[in-house]
Structure formats: structure tokens, C-alpha cells
Amino acid sequence: MSTARTLATAARVLRQLRRDRRSIALMVLVPSAMLFLLRYVFDGSPRTFDSIGTSLLGIFPLITMFLVASIATLRERTSGTLERLLALPLGKGDLIAGYALAFGLVAVAQSLLATGLALWALGLDVVGSPWLLLLVALLDALLGTALGLFVSAFAASEFQAVQFMPAVIFPQLLLCGLFTPRDTMHPVLEAISQALPMSYAVDAMTEVLHHPDPTGDFIRSALTVAACAALVLALGAATLRRRTP
């Protein structure tokens, strides 16, 4: 891998994103808008907002980054841009790291805005440090980016990329513990939830909600999310080919 090539790839992706205002709005503004809406859905029950809002602070960035990363990468595959790039002296690692870096920078802005809005404008009350919330939100956004880069290899159109959401995101959303504790689910579903990264994102957010300092469970959950993101990025690099379909 080359640092210069990785940075050049990231700069190119960021220039493309800057010209796509709809993608910028989806990545940066939609998670904050959803949190704002959620706050007033539970206007009469602030404790419910604290509980659900803390988890969704990590889930919303994951979902939006999954959508944008999958569609943006698919455009490059289907337009032939990816094939031309791979014909250059540019390694797969340089390419995938450049994409991850570009979307990661956007994820930082997204996470900062959503976390700041939730804590200081919407009154989200957590026992733990706001920096821990920000860390998990950022890890979740990076995980969504990695998943989006990976699934783009299996879609032939933007519509198909969006269709992957029910298969990749919705099962995790149902089994992550957001709606009911995972230990109260059917044993088979509980076992499946143990293998899904979104479950650990929710676990980490729950630890921040209830504990003032990082706990062992928080560290394990955060590291699991980070490891899953790294693994999926590696799988995404493996899907890159010198010839696009």
C-alpha cells in the first residue's frame, strides 16, 4: 500500500461527494433529523428517548453510510471508473483504504453533528462520557461504510444496491436488542444476534447510557464493531477485480 495513492483516492472520492448534494444531505443531515423527530415522538416520555435515542445514535449513521457507500461505489463499478483505476499502478488496498478514509471523514462530521444535537439540543441524558458516544457512533458509521463497499460488488444497479438493505440491515435492526433484550429472544435468534455487529453497537451505547466510565463490556463491544468493520473492508478489497462485470 502507498500512502500517497490512498490519499489521492480519498481526495478524488471527496471531490465527487462534494458535487453530490443529495448524498451529503443524506449522510450528514438525515441522522440528525431522525433524532430530532424521535425526540418529539417521545416528548411525554424523556426516559424512553434516552434509552432508544442512545442506541439509534449509533444505528442511524450505520444505515446512512451503508446506503451512500454502496451506491457511490456501485456507480464507479458500473461506469468503468473502477476498472480504469485498477489498470493503473494502484493496489486494491490503496483503493479500498482511500474509499474508507473519504467516507470516514464524512462519518466524523456526521457523528459530531448527531451527537452534539442529541446531547446539547435534544437533552439526551447519558451517564457516560459524550466522547464515548461519539466514538461508538463513528465506529458504527465506519461499519456501515465497510458493509456498503462490500455489498456493492453483488449489485448490478443502484436499485439492487438499495435492495440489499432488507437483507443486510433489517435483520440486524430486529435482532440487535433495540426492541427487546436479546436474552429474552428465542434461543436460536439470540444465538444469531451474537454474530451480528449491530448487536455490539447497541450494547456499547447501552453501557455508555448507564455507566460513567468505560466498562469491560463497553471495550469488548467497541472492539468487536471495529474488528467487524476491518474484516468487511478486507472482504471488500477481495471483491475488486481488474475487470468489472
Residue 245 lies in a domain: no
User: What is the count of structural domains for the chain?
Assistant: 1
The domain in which residue 199 lies consists of 3-238
Residue 57 lies in a domain: yes
Quote the CA–CA distance of 165 and 155 in Å, as a whole number: 12
Residue 243 lies in a domain: no
For the purposes of burial, counting CB atoms within 10 Å of the CB of 26, is it exposed (0-12), middle (13-18) or buried (19 or more)? Answer: middle
Residue 125 lies in a domain: yes
Residue 244 lies in a domain: no
Work out the pLDDT band at 88, boundaries 50, 70, 90: low
Q: What is the mean pLDDT of residues 156-163?
A: 77
**CB of 212 within 8 A of CB of 128?**
yes
- Residue 201: the pLDDT is 92
Residue 192 lies in a domain: yes
- Residue 86: the pLDDT is 61
Residue 114 lies in a domain: yes
Q: What percent of the chain has pLDDT over 90?
A: 19
pLDDT, one tens digit per residue, over 97-128 is: 888 888 888 888 888 888 888 888 888 888 88
pLDDT, one tens digit per residue, over 215-241 is: 999 999 999 999 998 998 888 777 765
Q: What is the mean pLDDT of the chain?
A: 84
Residue 42 lies in a domain: yes
User: Which residues are within 8 A (CB) of 69 and not within 5 positions of it... i.e. 6 or more apart?
Assistant: 99, 103, 144, 145, 146, 147, 148, 149, 152
Q: What is the mean pLDDT of residues 60-70?
A: 85
- Decide which of 1 and 160 is more confident: 160
